[in-house]
Structure 1
Amino acid sequence: MKTMTCKQLGGACDMEFSANTFEEIADLSKNHGMEMFQKKRFRPSKSNGRDAKSYEVSKWNAGLV
């Protein structure tokens, strides 16, 4: 099981998501983002021009997360 934060996934807060696969973490993050958007607490972070998902998947696969 691995853990990533909302910020690591391109979000705006430090909420942590734990799961066995990146896809499960992505689903948790997506649901969190939709919930925050509905509560009007959503503020997308800057991605610095990179594709956040492919970057985080590569870190996940390399065991860096």
Structure 2
Amino acid sequence: MKTMTCKQLGGACDKSFTAETFEELVELSKAHGMLMFQQQDTQHLEAMQRIMLLMQQPAAMEVWYQTKKKEFEALADN
């Protein structure tokens, strides 16, 4: 199991997500993002806007994803 925070994933807070794989971690982060969207958390909405802009450039999004995945894989197990 490895842990990354919302901020490490491009978000706005220090909430931690722990998972076996990066893909599982992304799903936990998405669920957190949806909750923050429902609560209209301003800082998270701004972070989501940055990711949405990145998603408009598939090559840049892929670089971001692979970089974050490598960061996850380089972490020590909890």
Q: Please give the residue correspondences for 1:1-65 in structure 2 after superposition, counting only pairs within 5 Å.
A: 1-41=1-41, 42=44, 43-44=46-47, 51-61=63-73, 63-64=74-75
Which has the larger Rg? 2
What percentage of aligned pairs have identical amino acids? 48
Structure 1 residue 11 displacement after superposition: 0.3
C-alpha RMSD over aligned residues: 2.2
Normalised TM-score (structure 2): 0.67
| Count of paired positions | 63
Unmatched segments (≥5 aa) in structure 1: none
Q: Residues 4-31 of structure 1: CA distance to partner in whole angstroms, max 9, x if unpaired?
A: 0000001000000001000010000001
Normalised TM-score (structure 1): 0.79
Secondary structure at 2:47 match in 1: coil
2:57 corresponds in structure 1 to: none
Unmatched segments (≥5 aa) in structure 2: 55-59
The structure carrying a bigger helix percent of its residues is 2
Q: Runs of 4+ in structure 1 displaced over 6 angstroms?
A: none
